[in-house]
Structure 1
């Protein structure tokens, strides 16, 4: 079985240590969690705004129906 040569790069300058790699992964996970909590909050605000628009439109529709009924 052929095993390809994998160059040992642990001593290269700029190669992150295991601790640095773990910290970076942790930071990425924290950012993703923050994004996953922020996005639903923003969407709930948008839904609430749309619900308010619907309530206003329903009230306006009712008022216009009443005006039309009075005219007929």
Structure 2
């Protein structure tokens, strides 16, 4: 039970940032490329990539690569 509480707490911390929460909201509508997310969020690609990396580390998003484009989904 404690392990589940720690995991939930970590996920809540990750989603506690408004930028990451907005990423999650946009991905709830379906898979998006990094470029699409940059346009939708009006966020620099470097910042977006850092947020996505943290979300990927927490297993909140999945990725697939198509040529040079990276796509994210829930």
Coarse TM-score class (shorter-chain normalised)? under 0.3
Q: TM-score, normalised by structure 2?
A: 0.26
Task: Select the structure that is richer in helix.
Answer: 1
Q: TM-score, normalised by structure 1?
A: 0.26
